[in-house]
A = this chain, B = another copy of it.
Amino acid sequence: MTATAYRRLEERFRRIAMLRDIDGLLHWDMSTMMPVGAAAARAEQMAALKVLCHEILTDPEMGDLLDAAEGQDGLDPWQQANLAEMRRQRRHASAVDAALTEALAKATSACEMQWRESRATRDFESVRPLLQTVLDLTVRSAEAKAEVLGVSPFDALMDSFEPGVGEVEVDRMFAPLIGALPGLLARIMERQKAAPPVPLQGPFPAARQRELCVRFMGALGFDFARGRLDASLHPFCGGAAGDVRLTTRYDENDFTKSLMGVLHETGHALYEQGLPAQWRYQPVGRVHSMAIHESQSLLIEMQVCRGLEFLTFAAPAIAAAFGGTGPAWSAENLYRHYTRVSPGAIRVDADEATYPLHVLLRYRLEKALLSGDLGLADLPGAWNDGMKRLLGIAPAHDGEGCLQDIHWFDGAWGYFPSYTLGAMAAAQLFEAAAGAVLWREPPDTHGVRNVGNTRFRNRLVEFKV
């Protein structure tokens, strides 16, 4: 009887997982393939899927099944964890009604489509009314969830991405970083003056950049039989379980961005492709914390691929792809490019040292917008002021200011802290891994690898100050 309850829950969540996978594929298509005039139809389709999931989650019978299954003996630890995750999803879904769910889904689709155009034309005002709708509905949803979860509205939003983590934890973890970064930044920039990188001469044809990306994705273990690489306005890793789809954007004057961007998304993809196949369609086998997901992309990007070891492996292929010769194309020079610290306007292109300041700006602004302390009309100004204060940068226009990121426009409020939590986790994971390798290998075989690990460790410790 109770065994049946758990199994019936698994069937229902299997259906939810299918619908979410389909939603992921439609979102990928929307970002890469969809003709622009199909946006309204697509918004309806995706809203229909979200409402269906919401109906399944809020069905009263599911409450009975959860009660029955929770009283059941004999579930193994995976099943117990699965059940806890089911309960959590139901709690989130039940807090908001179907009408709000549908309205939010449609509003975010419409806003995201307008954002694409507004970003290209650098015109915040053209998307502001749609963003206001998204914000208003997000506030309503956050307040409803806050009441059910017994936390603040902002923590209720964060809870979707980082279960159990809220403002208090974020502030506690961010504080030492924020205190140390300005001084550290100054020291790094002073030190790197001694050896500036030799410029790389373009142009770098997009097709060649793509070939290189595909090659290194394969080298890192990406399975192309279960995934793809395409182009989109905002890079992401999406798709579905067993069908992981990455995107990037190509700048023919600078290959370093698309290449490292793809390696970042490859980190996400390896995590997805590595999830336990037998739990693929159950909550316990899918992403639980976005910080952990981001830790995998940053482990690959920041810890592995920006390192001298990887670049030593990669440099010959990079030079060959663009017909480059001479010292500019050496691993050492690429390493100088890829570890260069330099405050810039764009978060996704930021180096490891300035990245947390981009996150901090967004974290502060989204809290102010959600609480009503800041109005959307004042967002561009507040953004630019914050950039100046935190990074000494004045964005040239809103396209590289408050329009640069997709998150708020597509409804991902409360997501930004996960990036920096993920960076911290990545650094710790890599340090532990490097330590384990050092410990395992006999001293006389260290050679270059040992040097590398030691260097990495020093670099990590430095940035963790």
Contacts and interface: CB of A to CB of B under 8 A. Distances in A.
Interface of A: 15, 18-19, 21-22, 25-26, 29, 33-38, 40-42, 44-45, 48-49, 52, 223-228, 240-243, 281
B22 A26 contact: yes
Contact of A41 (B15, B19, B45, B241): B241
Contact of A21 (B35, B37, B45, B226): B45
A226 B38 contact: yes
A137 to B, nearest CB: 21
Contact of A240 (B36, B38, B228, B281): B38
Contacts of A34: 243
A36 B225 contact: yes
What is the oligomeric copy number?
Answer: 2
Given A18-B44, A19-B48, A35-B227, 19 more contacts: A18-B45, A21-B45, A22-B22, A22-B26, A22-B45, A22-B48, A29-B29, A34-B243, A35-B224, A35-B225, A35-B228, A35-B243, A36-B225, A37-B223, A38-B226, A38-B240, A41-B241, A45-B240, A52-B52
Contacts of A41: 21, 240-243
A265 to B, nearest CB: 15
A48 B19 CA distance: 8
Given A25-B26, A242-B41, A226 B35 contact: yes
Nearest to A239: B38
Nearest to A16: B48
A228 B32 CA distance: 12
Contacts of A45: 18, 21-22, 25, 240
Contacts of A26: 22, 25
A37 B228 contact: no
A35 B224 CA distance: 7
Contacts of A225: 35-37
A442 B268 CA distance: 69
Contacts of A42: 243
A101 to B, nearest CB: 14
A226 B37 CA distance: 5
A241 to B, nearest CB: 6
Contact of A242 (B40, B223, B227): B40
A225 B36 CA distance: 6
18 contacts: A21-B41, A22-B22, A22-B26, A22-B48, A33-B33, A34-B243, A35-B224, A35-B227, A35-B228, A35-B243, A36-B225, A37-B223, A38-B226, A38-B240, A38-B243, A41-B242, A41-B243, A44-B281
